[in-house]
Chain A
Amino acid sequence: MNIFKSVTKTLAAVMLAAMLAGCGGASNAPDAAPGASGTGASGAEPKDAVTVNAAFLSVYNMADAQLVQDAMNKILEEKYGIKIQLTFISAGSWREQTNMLLTGSEADLMTYFMLPLSTFVSNGQCLPLDKYVAAAGDKFKSLFSPEQLSGCQIGGVQYAIPNLRNYGNDVIVNFDEAKLEQLGYKPEDVKTMEDVEKILYEAHKAFPDIYTLVPQASSTFSQAWTWDGLGDQNNVAVIGNRGQDTTVTDIFENKDFIELCRRTHKWYEDGLMMGDALSNQETGTNMIQNGAAFAAFANSSNAAPPAGVTKSVIFSNWTDSTNISALTFGINSLSKHPDETWTLLEALYTDTELMTLLIDGIEGAHYVLNSDGTASYPEGVTASTSAYGNATVYWAMPYAKGVPPIVDLGGPAFFDELIAFNNASLLSKGTGFVLDTDAMGITDEYTACINVKDKYYNGLMCGVLDPETTLPAAHREMVDAGIEKICAAKQKALDELLGRI
């Protein structure tokens, strides 16, 4: 009994002591850091290079990020007097992790992705960059046209810098290359929806055992078509005709949308469309490559289609109002080193040596240079098995022109062709449109309309729902949810935007 008591007492005392120590330590820590640097950095002592924490998206395993970081730091310290800390965040947990990251000052250079830029700005997460852009070097200034830069402005303020990827998209059909040839067609013969329809019916007869048409991915018929959601990818209240119309309508009243749904519904009724379209789990190209499907609509840049697949362009290259700002780079508004962060940002757009390290990795270890100027993963290695498979993910990095492109993208001139593709892209009239639902006073209506849209959008586009009965019902529900107020607010903002230009 006595022993038990003394044991409990000792235990309690130990716990208490541990806790007090814990609390003390926690409360001391924040004081200690600034104090130390305050006393240490006085006088002419050379200051340590500031480390800029840069958050990037990763798709593949980045086990060798530390090696790349060390190699980059050698150059950065020498040339720019700063250091970089690479923080790769995987796409799967991007939303949660960046949300946490942006509540503090830990990250300096930020990738703004997966949410509209206007959302980041209205949440106060982006530092205005105008003074930096104005003071930037000529090489940086020559990278983007004023229109492209204005795609990342909100209220005339530059909040982010676009990166090099396809801003615009061709709306295309992917076909099984061999089967299309068997039917006697060449991909360049297919130009309109009527052509596609004719071929799909023939393919349905010729290959009855496979799906004739499948969605682009999961239950999405095609990620892009010809309407522009004006600042959001939910497509609540849109302008049609590749963004060239100037009247904002409910998506369920949009001419292009109605026309497409009537056509796909006929296809669905005739058995051309995959029956499971609304609960599909795979991507269209996968199914085509596996021989399970004949065709799928999609959106695409100038990149070559994967092996065994060929593409025909139905609506050529156009850029909607959100594409340019869909993935951008900027400075976290809470960053403690905004100037150094800009130095790094500019270097990642202009210093080819650094860009190559960041994108392709270390030569010999992560890529080998081919004689034509392209790069390949080392023998037997792919992007997903590499310890630094970032070359395929150039589209999520700041700037890749000058970096050896990975060979399957299409050749040594791939990045020049990509820039030409962007410059040739038809810009939506809504480019520069800012959707700030709070300022417009339509947030409540917006949340309600997104939920209504979600009920019918995929079902109608895949042709599963009958547009003759569904469209009027869907529009009625949208009206109940407040679509008219949203259209009016967006129309007003669009008119102002068009008047200003």
Chain B
Amino acid sequence: MPQKTKKTRGLKMTVTLYTMMIPGLIYLIINNYIPMVGLQIAFKKFNYSLGMWKSPWTGLSNFTYLFKTKDALNMTINTLLYNIVFLITGTVFAVFIAILLNELRNVRAKKIYQVIFLIPYLISMVIVSYIVFAFLSFDKGFINNSLLKPLGLPAVNWYMQPSYWPYILTGVNLWKVFGYSSIIYYATVIGIDTALYEAAVIDRADAWQRIWHVTLPGLRNTIITLTVLGIGRIFYSDFGLFYQVPQNSGVLANVTQTIDVYVYKGLTQLNDIGRSSAASFYQSVVGFALVLTANFAVSKLDRDSALF
């Protein structure tokens, strides 16, 4: 008898919980699953008057422009390399900042730093592009006028020198995103059991050893999760960063052209919905495959660290 009541009670509790899950599920279905029906547009010649279902199929012809030319190869390589560099620099720097924040004892200062670090993340890329312009403008920029001139060095026409831009873009990206991820890492760091630190102190570990043997292992899972998710977006690029920040300067195209920029420039006049969909279809399918591969690799090395 008591067994049964317990069971029904358990069932009742589960029903309640599942009921509460429904809004979230519906949100997911409407927002993330129903739009997937639109993936078919990537394989169609979209016509507004016929609508999505009646537009004629065109096979894979919407995809060819992404692979046909030398520029297409260039943009794929750019997208990949930039994202790899962004992932590595972003993670290393954010973890570094998170650890520094943790070592800081002054609570007030800690909060002020967090806010300051987060501000760039909240600024729109268009504004960032003007901030960068204020630094790099040839005639009026800060670097040419206030740094190079007093040092007696010749002014540099930044928007015409492709060789500087991989560094500039990496720097801008790092400045913009590190605050956000460092706060995620910091949240993990303060969640690490303080008993571990106490034990380390008793074992006479110095600060460096505490970081190396306690903090970093504690961060491992978060780093792996964020990195695997980052790999999933490795074929996407921040359009604002690569289009607005270089002021769409054509001379820089070889180092600033990513998949998104190429698609934008190539299709704004043609307004070809099929081809634009094909580009994001390609980006997400490759990203999905990479996430699976990365997760598989992680789970081979260490079952517990894998995402799923």
Contact = CB atoms under 8 A, between A and B. Distances in A.
Interface string B239-283: 000000001111101100100001101110111110100000000
A490 to B, nearest CB: 15
A275 interface: yes
B22 A443 contact: no
A15 B20 contact: yes
B137 A125 contact: no
A450 B269 contact: yes
B251 A448 contact: no
B212 interface: no
A78 to B, nearest CB: 34
Contacts of B250: 278, 454-459
A234 B47 CA distance: 23
Contacts of A11: 20
Interface in B22-74: 22-23, 26, 45-50, 64-65, 68-72
A16 B272 contact: no
B185 interface: no
B72 A8 contact: no
A15 B133 contact: no
Contact of B20 (A8, A447, A455): A8
B254 A115 contact: no
Contacts of A103: 48
Given A123-B48, A334-B49, A481-B71, A278 B160 contact: yes
Contacts of B46: 123
Contacts of A125: 48-49
Interface residues of B, number: 48
B72 A19 contact: no
A278 B70 contact: no
B16 A12 contact: yes
Contact of B269 (A233, A438, A444, A481): A233
Contact of A447 (B49, B140, B254, B266): B266
From DSSP, what is the main secondary structure of chain A's interface residues? helix
A450 B22 CA distance: 48
A447 B268 CA distance: 9
Contact of A275 (B48, B49, B157, B251): B157
A278 B159 contact: yes
Contact of A279 (B45, B69, B138, B265): B138
B247 A444 contact: no
- Point out which of B13, B140, B250 has the most chain A C-beta atoms below 10 A from its C-beta: B250
Interface in B142-180: 157, 159-160
Interface string A175-206: 00000000000000000000000000000000
B133 to A, nearest CB: 6
Contacts of A443: 65, 270, 272, 275
Contact of B22 (A16, A102, A481): A16
Given A12-B20, A279-B247, A123 B269 contact: no
Contact of B69 (A8, A454, A481): A481
Contacts of A456: 250-251
Interface string A212-223: 000000010000
B296 to A, nearest CB: 34
B302 interface: no
A465 B157 CA distance: 13
Interface in B182-211: none
B47 A276 contact: no
B139 interface: yes
Interface of B: 13, 16, 19-20, 22-23, 26, 45-50, 64-65, 68-72, 133, 136-140, 157, 159-160, 247-251, 253-254, 257, 262-263, 265-267, 269-273, 275
5 contacts: A16-B19, A19-B23, A119-B270, A454-B248, A454-B250
Interface of A: 5, 8-9, 11-13, 15-16, 19, 99, 102-103, 115-116, 119, 123-125, 219, 232-234, 274-276, 278-279, 281, 333-334, 437-438, 443-448, 450-452, 454-459, 464-465, 477, 480-482
Closest 9 CB pairs of A and B: A447-B266, A124-B49, A444-B65, A124-B47, A12-B19, A455-B253, A279-B159, A333-B49, A455-B250
